[in-house]
Amino acid sequence: MSKKFRIAIAGASGYAGAELVRLAAAHPYFDIAAVTSEKSAGQSVASVFPNLTGVVQHTFEALAPEALAERADALFLALPHTKSQEPVALCMKAGKLVVDLSADYRLKNVAAYEQWYQTPHTHPALLHEAVYGLPELHRSAIAKAKLVASPGCYPTAAILQLAPLFAKGLVQLDSIVIDAKSGISGAGRSPALPYHFPEAHESLEPYKIGKHRHIPEIEQELSGIMGTPGAVTIAFTPHLVPMNRGILSTAYCKLKTEIKLPELRALYREFYKGERFIRLYEDIVPNPRYIKGSNFCDIGVYADQRAGWVVTVAAVDNLVKGAAGQAIQAMNLMMGLPEETGLTAPGSYP
Amino acid sequence: MSKKFRIAIAGASGYAGAELVRLAAAHPYFDIAAVTSEKSAGQSVASVFPNLTGVVQHTFEALAPEALAERADALFLALPHTKSQEPVALCMKAGKLVVDLSADYRLKNVAAYEQWYQTPHTHPALLHEAVYGLPELHRSAIAKAKLVASPGCYPTAAILQLAPLFAKGLVQLDSIVIDAKSGISGAGRSPALPYHFPEAHESLEPYKIGKHRHIPEIEQELSGIMGTPGAVTIAFTPHLVPMNRGILSTAYCKLKTEIKLPELRALYREFYKGERFIRLYEDIVPNPRYIKGSNFCDIGVYADQRAGWVVTVAAVDNLVKGAAGQAIQAMNLMMGLPEETGLTAPGSYP
Amino acid sequence: MSKKFRIAIAGASGYAGAELVRLAAAHPYFDIAAVTSEKSAGQSVASVFPNLTGVVQHTFEALAPEALAERADALFLALPHTKSQEPVALCMKAGKLVVDLSADYRLKNVAAYEQWYQTPHTHPALLHEAVYGLPELHRSAIAKAKLVASPGCYPTAAILQLAPLFAKGLVQLDSIVIDAKSGISGAGRSPALPYHFPEAHESLEPYKIGKHRHIPEIEQELSGIMGTPGAVTIAFTPHLVPMNRGILSTAYCKLKTEIKLPELRALYREFYKGERFIRLYEDIVPNPRYIKGSNFCDIGVYADQRAGWVVTVAAVDNLVKGAAGQAIQAMNLMMGLPEETGLTAPGSYP
Amino acid sequence: MSKKFRIAIAGASGYAGAELVRLAAAHPYFDIAAVTSEKSAGQSVASVFPNLTGVVQHTFEALAPEALAERADALFLALPHTKSQEPVALCMKAGKLVVDLSADYRLKNVAAYEQWYQTPHTHPALLHEAVYGLPELHRSAIAKAKLVASPGCYPTAAILQLAPLFAKGLVQLDSIVIDAKSGISGAGRSPALPYHFPEAHESLEPYKIGKHRHIPEIEQELSGIMGTPGAVTIAFTPHLVPMNRGILSTAYCKLKTEIKLPELRALYREFYKGERFIRLYEDIVPNPRYIKGSNFCDIGVYADQRAGWVVTVAAVDNLVKGAAGQAIQAMNLMMGLPEETGLTAPGSYP
């Protein structure tokens, strides 16, 4: 297992890309062969991300998928949604391992993709080859996959916090409300008025109420756990919170039959037994500040027995377990490496 | 109407108290007779709240309710919950106008108070004399009242965002989820670990899930609007958000029958017609940064028609419409002054 | 004095413009005749600044200086530097009162302007007619002026914190260091990478070290106080601090002869005697949070007698005393109104 | 070099302690034998620092220096100033390697210690055995030391940013101004009003002007570089900035003779040649956000040639290079390990 894999990171000048570079640079079995960025081509990585000064010597290059695939054994694509369809196909054709961080290969249903992303899908066949890259749900499929579609940040939290309940078929399907909150890095690195500091600071903004593109992913996976495609419809409201990183997802649902809290928690412990990156809380409530910079997904289950609701809370770092870390976790599996390789650093405090 | 009222503010060294002093100092019909604080007795207001340097010359004194009542025509009590029962009773006995900002006179049901606040109520008779101080719902009763119990910050947002739906009896009563978020000033001015800057910054914390003391207030008022005491039970989760001020409340419910969004919005416009401090948004979503320092409650109604949920969003400044401003709004009514007197300043931006 | 002045605000879709509108709307002797914005022409003010919903009914229009001047008695121009030269000249020609918030008429020395702003000045004659709009230094000249050049935000703090020392000729001229810090709103409302929330949060950035365009203003005014143009040269480093508003300026200098702290403070009290908007602190240190939203300039004088330095600290709200408030303060003087008209609201806390 | 050292961390429930635990847990040659905390004795580390859940299994114990020394080969003491004198002496007596993070053994001059810390020093002899733990200046002495006094956070930045100039004797000694800014974690983990979120947010506070206890450390080391004890006196003003972590130090000085910027920068490159944790910037200005969580000290040299000042800027993470990381860096040297062991992770971005 001492062999190193040559890896390439495309679209590395966004925040998820920067995290991929940071984590890849410290990964014992990765050699970074190339990093690409259209916007920053020709600039050194360190000049764009000064945190990496003295750590990474690379220079961004423009993306040429086929040439890139030749220089790498495995590729991470962190391109904008809809822009990843073709590069993925080219890398697959070259026989490489691919983890795609865009949404382009996450939805199994082509029509759903085309409706939510308002663009045709040019490689529908590949959709069925792609595995949804949530190792806690699809570990063995990922290990065998050539193409993994890495989940969105909100879905990572939302699916993991609800999966044990859906696996047991406990949830009243018309009762699911997911109120999610994200730090501003979730909006990407392109300046725009809503993310301009004086607009986003001392501010708290719900957006795309019931219309966020992460909805179909969450519904697909929760339905999948139940074995009934299309079964699940959720109310989902994301909010922008004035912090840099982190997602907190607060999910509400009713159960078909009353189950006491200790039993619910036992069910979660059982479901996530042995999972390296799931941490279950009882007395403490998950909070993004406990997982910043780490690949953990922290989950807590609480019951509002008076009102008859189960409330679950999940926290992930949107750029690590919600993006770069999870992509590497999947790639480790695809490469036959221990899943946690290069991902064990805890968050710092505070 | 040129006569000035002598007012006193008890418990003025907290954040709500500081806002009362700031607003009262600029109120054209208020003369501040006294401000009290146990903790800061003997110190000048300006030394505790330097923003008021050169604006207010008062010195905090210790609270002596009866003596205080003699020096004032009207009193604002911003004392801790459970500590206001007796001072209110003494001021009432002295025949003064009282707005109490604590929870001590908000709940009509003594048993509910004693259960949620874990303390006996020593003046249950006064509970029925007290009017819940939300002018948009109880304007005429407030105008006739001697004692007003000013609402909590979360309830102000939650009740106002849902009232029009409950007034029409539209809501499925088992479907109500209120996910509320507050700036840290909502936790008061006493230092404690959860509010220590490095703990609360880059942090997002759900707390008292299903157990917050504002729950019975919200349920009481929403049930009251329906005319059916005890009818309403809500799931309620408050969150601490890293900003100084502001509450954002995101409420989810299902309707008994489908109603199109334009009709719902018309219903809100009708319900809040002529209300000076309610602003209804459609294209814009309420955000605490639009109301900081002002007495507005901004409300938006959105529909997730795909999933069958109505989502309402409300924003208030927890220290103004959620505390000091609302208390003055009620007092204005009690004094026969125009309701908006001293409260018309909009928030600044950003 | 009950007559109202028709005022126009040009360039009102930036942050200083928004403050001008907010303050003008509450000013008892102003009628807002028009607000202009190239970027937002045709949009309602409330849609751009939702805090003003229900407060201001105006719609932004494109700037046409001559037509605008006809509709107003007095004009505030909050246009970008170098873009104000011509509009000012046109308004002056129309015989109106003008307060210009740009840098275009601040420097008396045409060559200095052309060097620091890298553009020719097309109306050098008007430069000498313009009065530098710091009422604490130039009150009587402002009262007689038709054209006032309102100071920059950093200079307001820096000049006011040092003026008393320079008025007495106490300062060693080769010892002046001004380390200034600003909230991000000081950078304006146009999104750009350095002000993108995730870049500016948990960040602290010195910029334009020794090269900021506010330097010649500070040097001109401090030299002017001494009566020796060109006498003063300063080291000046501005920093961007992760907060919305406020400037804190920490200035260091050595004195020609040792003066004890109480004597220095007495000198400041004497210099600023009767000033409505200067607050002097001793036990407390000025902090932007005490002046947010207000027109105060808070100043403290401290001595590091061990090391032989005098340290003065000044805080202003960059958008009020550092921009819109100061502009109105000057306009009040030009109109013969009490200087503090419409400017007496203290900041809120916290 | 495969042998592991048993290490103990005393005072581990503060922020520097938490960083020591985090970094020690990932250090390939450290076995954590014990962690102590008076306040949290009996509680698991993970319950106090949830970021370490699943990472560290230890429970805090009360400090018993002699017993602790028996169980460890090397000790990190992160106790409050003045409380470390005795424990250090006991651990030294037991023949262990000690890195003390308090100020108790930093000052060579007993009288200076007693004056600045207002307490007698009970082990003055040990003061002379202690080495000031800045590896970039005292590497070989540290490697031979049994006791290292790890520098304060401000001094780390201030000394490193000025050392090259002092080593060449270039600085006018009466011209040194250090304006330093720290994130709030620098104030420790004990809640108090100035660090209460609503007080510290949207706030910027100079404090202890000319009186901060880090002054004598900086003066001692800069004088030491020149070889003239007592030669250096500085003006030093620390400021609290609303961010969690990071120190930015902006230092101003005049040189005895004019030196062009490229030459100055060459001098810095030469002085810090081969230094693993010093990064020199030219086009970019150091900013705490580039070094968060890492052991780097970023330095930039700028010249304000117009005004005749050299401005240097340094950034460190107050809890890593300014505390825990630097302590481990010194301990690595004392243990004969490569200096950077366990310290190579770069900061994350953003």
From chain C, the residues in CB contact with D285 under 8 A are 205-207, 209
Is B158 found in the same domain as B274?
yes
Alpha-carbon distance A85 to A102, whole Å? 9
Residue with the two structure tokens 């030394």: B47
CATH for B286 = 3.30.360.10
Residue in A closest to C350 by C-alpha: A202
Residue B323 DSSP code: I
Alpha-carbon distance A75 to A214, whole Å? 23
D23-35: average pLDDT: 98
Nearest-by-Cβ selection for B185 from D183, D198, D200: D198
Nearest-by-Cβ selection for A191 from C185, C193, C244: C193
Residue C219 DSSP code: H
Please list, in sequence order, all residues whose beta carbon lies within 8 angstroms of the beta carbon of residue D274, skipping any fewer than 6 positions away. Answer: none
Give the three-state DSSP class for D145: coil
For the record, the structure tokens of B27 come out as 């109120």
Please list, in sequence order, all residues whose beta carbon lies within 8 angstroms of the beta carbon of residue B237, skipping any fewer than 6 positions away. Answer: A250, A252, A311, B178, B179, B180, B206, B209, B210
Mutate to test the interface with D, among B196, B203, B204 (most CBs of D within 10 A): B196
H or E segment and range at residue D298: strand D297-304
Q: What is the pLDDT of residues B28-54, one digit of tens each?
A: 999 999 999 999 999 999 999 999 999
Confidence at residue B2, expressed as pLDDT on a 0 to 100 scale: 60
Residue in A closest to B312 by C-alpha: A209
State yes or no: pLDDT of D19 exceeds 70: yes
Q: Do D170 and B156 contact (CB within 8 A), yes or no?
A: no
Identify whether B24 is part of a domain. Answer: yes
Is B23 found in the same domain as B98?
yes
Is C14 found in the same domain as C67?
yes
Q: Can you give the residue range of the structural domain that contains D58?
A: 5-129
Q: HSE on the CB side for A122, CA within 13 Å? A: 9
Which residue, D323, D268, D262, is CA-closest to D299? D268
Please list, in sequence order, all residues whose beta carbon lies within 8 angstroms of the beta carbon of residue C274, skipping any fewer than 6 positions away. Answer: none
Alpha-carbon distance A5 to A72, whole Å? 8
Query: How far away is chain D from the Cα of B198, in angstroms, using its nearest Cα?
Result: 5
From chain B, the residues in CB contact with D198 under 8 A are 15, 183-185, 189, 195, 244-245
C350 upstream amide cis, omega within 30 of 0? yes
- Interchain CB contacts (distance < 8 Å): A and B: 157
Alpha-carbon distance D171 to D31, whole Å? 45
Is A234 found in the same domain as A101?
no
Question: What are the two backbone dihedrals, phi and then psi, of residue B275, each rounded to the nearest 5 degrees?
Answer: -70, 125
Is D166 found in the same domain as D286?
yes
Give the three-state DSSP class for B262: helix
Identify whether A146 is part of a domain. Answer: no
Q: Is A242 exposed, middle or buried (0-12, 13-18, 19+ CB in 10 A)?
A: buried
Nearest-by-Cβ selection for D191 from B196, B201, B202: B196
Contact B198 D242 (CB under 8 A): no
Q: Do D300 and D161 contact (CB within 8 A), yes or no?
A: no
Is D170 found in the same domain as D69?
no
Sign of the C-alpha dihedral computed for residues D323, D324, D325 and D329 taken in this order: positive
Q: HSE on the CB side for B135, CA within 13 Å? A: 26
Confidence at residue C329, expressed as pLDDT on a 0 to 100 scale: 98
Contact D291 A51 (CB under 8 A): yes
Chain mean position to CA B60: 24
Contact A289 B203 (CB under 8 A): yes
Please give the torsion angle defined by the CA atoms of residues B62, B65, B67 and B68, in that order, rounded to the nearest 10 degrees.
80
Query: What percent of chain A has pLDDT above 70?
Result: 99
Neighbours, chain D (3 or more CB pairs < 8 A): A, B, C
Amino acid at B183: G
Q: How many domains does chain B have?
A: 2
Nearest-by-Cβ selection for A15 from D292, D347, D350: D350
From chain A, the residues in CB contact with B242 under 8 A are 241-243
Contact B181 A181 (CB under 8 A): yes
Q: What is the pLDDT of residues A83-112, one digit of tens each?
A: 999 999 999 999 999 999 999 999 999 999
> Do strands A30-36 and A5-10 pair parallel, antiparallel, or not at all (unpaired)?
parallel
Confidence at residue D21, expressed as pLDDT on a 0 to 100 scale: 98
Is D310 found in the same domain as D200?
yes
Identify whether B211 is part of a domain. Answer: yes
Identify whether B338 is part of a domain. Answer: no
D141-150: average pLDDT: 98
Which residue, B4, B2, B336, B3, is CA-closest to B142? B336
Q: How many CB atoms lie within 10 A of CB B283?
A: 6
Catalytic residues of B: 153
Confidence at residue D2, expressed as pLDDT on a 0 to 100 scale: 60
Give alpha helix (H) positions in chain B: 15-26, 45-48, 65-71, 85-93, 110-117, 124-129, 135-144, 153-167, 197-200, 215-226, 261-271, 325-335
From chain B, the residues in CB contact with A254 under 8 A are 174
Please give the torsion angle defined by the CA atoms of residues B130, B133, B135 and B137, in that order, rounded to the nearest 10 degrees.
-70
Confidence at residue D321, expressed as pLDDT on a 0 to 100 scale: 98
Alpha-carbon distance C183 to D232, whole Å? 33
Which residue, C34, C97, C39, C38, is CA-closest to C67? C34
Q: What is the average pLDDT score of chain D?
A: 97
H or E segment and range at residue D114: helix D110-117
Identify whether A138 is part of a domain. Answer: no
State yes or no: pLDDT of A2 exceeds 80: no
B146-163: average pLDDT: 98
Give alpha helix (H) positions in A27-168: 45-48, 65-71, 85-93, 110-117, 124-129, 135-144, 153-167
Residue in D closest to B201 by C-alpha: D244
Q: If you write DSSP's letter for every residue of D89-101 in order, what string do you get?
A: HHHHHTT-EEEE-
Confidence at residue B145, expressed as pLDDT on a 0 to 100 scale: 98
Mutate to test the interface with C, among B195, B278, B291, B349 (most CBs of C within 10 A): B349
Residue B322 DSSP code: I
Residue B131 DSSP code: E
Alpha-carbon distance B195 to A248, whole Å? 18
Q: Do B335 and B142 contact (CB within 8 A), yes or no?
A: no
H or E segment and range at residue D32: strand D30-36
Confidence at residue C3, expressed as pLDDT on a 0 to 100 scale: 86
Alpha-carbon distance D214 to D322, whole Å? 12
Give the three-state DSSP class for C63: coil
Confidence at residue B149, expressed as pLDDT on a 0 to 100 scale: 98
Q: Which residues of A touch C (CB under 8 A)?
A: 15, 183-185, 189-193, 195-198, 200-202, 242-245
Q: Do A126 and A89 contact (CB within 8 A), yes or no?
A: yes
Query: What percent of chain D has pLDDT above 70?
Result: 99
Alpha-carbon distance A326 to A148, whole Å? 11
State yes or no: pLDDT of D1 exceeds 70: no
For chain C, residues with pLDDT lower than 70 are: 1-2
Q: What is the average pLDDT score of chain A?
A: 97
Alpha-carbon distance D12 to D34, whole Å? 10
Query: What percent of chain A has pLDDT above 90?
Result: 99
State yes or no: pLDDT of B77 exceeds 90: yes
Mutate to test the interface with B, among C51, C56, C278 (most CBs of B within 10 A): C51
Catalytic residues of A: 153
Is B309 found in the same domain as B172?
yes
Contact C241 D245 (CB under 8 A): no
Is A200 found in the same domain as A78?
no
From chain C, the residues in CB contact with B287 under 8 A are 50
Residue in C closest to D205 by C-alpha: C287
CA distance readout (Å), D50 to A102, A135, A290, A316, D18: 31, 23, 6, 13, 11
Q: How many CB atoms lie within 10 A of CB D277?
A: 25
Exposed e or buried b per residue across A146-162, where buried means at least 16 C-beta atoms within 10 angstroms of its C-beta: bbbbbbbbbbbbbbbbb
Is B71 found in the same domain as B23?
yes
Which residue, B33, B32, B31, B41, is CA-closest to B11? B41
Q: Which residues pair with A171 in a beta bridge?
A: A255
Is D290 found in the same domain as D243?
yes
Q: What is the pLDDT of residues D253-270, one digit of tens each?
A: 999 999 999 999 999 999
State yes or no: pLDDT of D76 exceeds 70: yes
Is A100 found in the same domain as A175?
no
Greatest extent of chain D over all pairs of C-alpha atoms, in Å: 61
Confidence at residue B3, expressed as pLDDT on a 0 to 100 scale: 85
D80-90: average pLDDT: 96
From chain A, the residues in CB contact with B309 under 8 A are 177, 210, 235
Nearest-by-Cβ selection for D15 from A26, A52, A350: A350
Identify whether A325 is part of a domain. Answer: no
B350 upstream amide cis, omega within 30 of 0? yes
D341-347: average pLDDT: 97
Residue in D closest to A17 by C-alpha: D349
Identify whether A216 is part of a domain. Answer: yes
Alpha-carbon distance A269 to B37, whole Å? 49
Contact A303 B201 (CB under 8 A): no
Q: Do B321 and B338 contact (CB within 8 A), yes or no?
A: no
Confidence at residue B290, expressed as pLDDT on a 0 to 100 scale: 98
Q: Do A160 and A139 contact (CB within 8 A), yes or no?
A: no
Which among D88, D114, D129 is the end of a domain?
D129
Residue B346 DSSP code: P
Identify whether C294 is part of a domain. Answer: yes
Confidence band (pLDDT; 50, 70, 90) for D3?
confident
Exposed e or buried b per residue across B239-265, where buried means at least 16 C-beta atoms within 10 angstroms of its C-beta: bbbbbbbbbbbbbbbbbeeebeeeebb
CATH for B98 = 3.40.50.720
Query: How far away is chain B from the Cα of A294, in angstroms, using its nearest Cα?
Result: 15
D273-298: average pLDDT: 98
Query: How far away is chain A from the Cα of D119, in angstroms, using its nearest Cα?
Result: 31
